[in-house]
């Protein structure tokens, strides 16, 4: 099996896992990965994560031209913005996961640190998560908002919409976005209970030990 064929299978397998566990439903969410030749494989528009077909993934060449497969997700501006501003990005995942969306609706949601430092794992997997404002789905302005971060965040939360995460490969991106949703759920479960968050010193110790890309 070629590397591209294996990547196609992996994208569909991981997407189905996310769907089967209720992390995104219906035809929501989209996923992409950088191919060995510098192109992109992208989930098609209007498709369900539970039923992606490896042979029908949208395939772009290294010049951004669709060369085979079905038409891509309307959220392509989000994906290309991450690839264009983060050289380390090998995959991007966007979900409509329930708890992270709910947390984004809270009036006191932290714009610069959307996920509170409750455990070290969100720091390791995500760094700091930026909360972006609401955009109409498919609006190219979402990509502009990601570009304005100049590659400083690997994870963002679209208010009233869903999280978007970039990572080195598909597996890492899926792991990270799962951590984002789990951390948002934990934040909601402890909301109003004055939980003991990690102290600034503890946060710094995690950053230092795991060499986390942490923009100030």
Q: How far apart are the first and last CA of the chain?
A: 43
From 75, 178, 179, 181, active-site residue: 75
State both tokens at 133.
């404002």
Pairing state between β 30-34 and 91-94: antiparallel
Longest Cα pair distance anywhere in the chain, in angstroms?
A: 53
Spatial strand order in the sheet of 66-68: 66-68, 58-60, 40-42, 30-34, 91-94, 162-167, 155-158, 129-132
Tell me how far the alpha carbon of residue 23 is from its chain's centroid.
Answer: 12
Q: How many other C-beta atoms lie within 10 A of the C-beta of residue 40?
A: 23
Is residue 61 packed enough to be buried (19+ CB in 10 Å), middle (13-18) or exposed (0-12)? middle
| CA 132 to chain CA mean position, Å | 13
Q: Are 66 and 80 in contact (CB under 8 A)?
A: no
- Catalytic annotation present for 121: yes
Which residue in the list 9, 83, 121, 201 is annotated as catalytic? Answer: 121
Residues identified as active-site: 75, 121
């Amino acid at each position: 099996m070629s590397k591209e064929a294996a990547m196609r299978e992996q994208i569909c397998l991981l997407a189905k896992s996310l769907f089967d566990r209720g992390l995104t439903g219906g035809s929501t969410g989209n996923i992409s990965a950088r191919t060995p030749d510098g192109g992109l494989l992208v989930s098609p528009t209007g498709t369900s994560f539970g039923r992606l077909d490896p042979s029908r993934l949208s395939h772009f060449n290294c010049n951004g031209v669709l060369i085979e497969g079905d038409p891509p997700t309307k959220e392509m501006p989000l994906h290309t913005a991450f690839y264009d501003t983060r050289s380390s990005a090998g995959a991007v995942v966007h979900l409509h996961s329930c708890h992270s969306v709910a947390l984004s609706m809270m009036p006191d949601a932290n714009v610069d640190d959307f996920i509170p430092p409750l455990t070290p794992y969100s720091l390791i997997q995500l760094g700091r998560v930026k909360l972006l404002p609401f955009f109409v789905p498919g609006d190219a302005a979402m990509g502009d908002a990601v570009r304005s971060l100049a590659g400083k965040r690997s994870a963002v939360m679209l208010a009233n919409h869903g999280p978007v995460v970039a990572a080195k490969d598909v597996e890492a991106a899926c792991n990270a976005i799962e951590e984002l949703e789990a951390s948002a759920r934990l934040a909601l479960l402890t909301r109003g209970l004055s939980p003991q968050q990690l102290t600034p010193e503890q946060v710094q110790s995690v950053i230092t030990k795991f060499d986390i890309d942490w923009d100030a």
